[in-house]
Amino acid sequence: MPSTGPRPLRADAQRNRDRLLDAAARAFTRADGAEVTLDAIAKDAGVGIGTLYRHFPTREALVEATYRKELARLCDATTELLESLPADEALRTWMDRFVDYMTTKRGMADALRAVIASGGNPFSESKARLTEAVTTLTRAGAAAGRIRPDVDAADVVASLGGVSLMAAEPTQREQAGRILDLLMDGLRYGAAGP
């Protein structure tokens, strides 16, 4: 029986799609991101407008795909971080990436509202994916004796959301880092140690 799923993209088409999503993420996070034209995104990606529309038939489709790619990039980083850093440092590094991700999401706020208004739900997987990523990191930390074993990943995600709200301005990013350090101290408190 033939496959009914979408065919995988050719390598060049996948590269174009990825370049478009990267260019869109950069564009949507600028101060004028809500007004950026699709032509400007295509130009930044080094492709024609027709290529953009083949991959993303509407602005909303591009916004939603960009948001989902940024979410996947953040959540999928757990494996790489745990392979290269001690578990508690991996979690702290991931927290910085979370704040950066939230900044991207905030820059896309108007565009994401348009997606929702058109019937899309770009957030349908967000909370579950974020909680799963934090669970992976905190369990690894607990197993290594570097994070308390009683940590609830949903509490960490909620705390990170609060920190990211106050880090909206670049001048507040340094303070956000200090608050993340305090959060890590709380997560380490009572851990068995390495």
CA distance 25 to 74: 13
pLDDT at 5 over 60: no
CA distance 181 to 171: 17
CA distance 129 to 124: 10
CA distance 98 to 159: 11
Segment 139-143 shows an average pLDDT of 96
Secondary element (H or E) of residue 166: helix 153-166
Read off the pLDDT of residues 165-178 as tens digits, 9 standing for 90 and up. 877 776 788 888 99
Rounded to 10 deg, the angle between the 11-29 and 59-84 helix axes is 100
Mean pLDDT, rounded, of the chain:
87
Whether 90 contacts 81, CB under 8 Å = yes
Which amino acid, 68? R
Read off the pLDDT of residues 144-170 as tens digits, 9 standing for 90 and up. 999 999 999 999 999 998 888 877 776
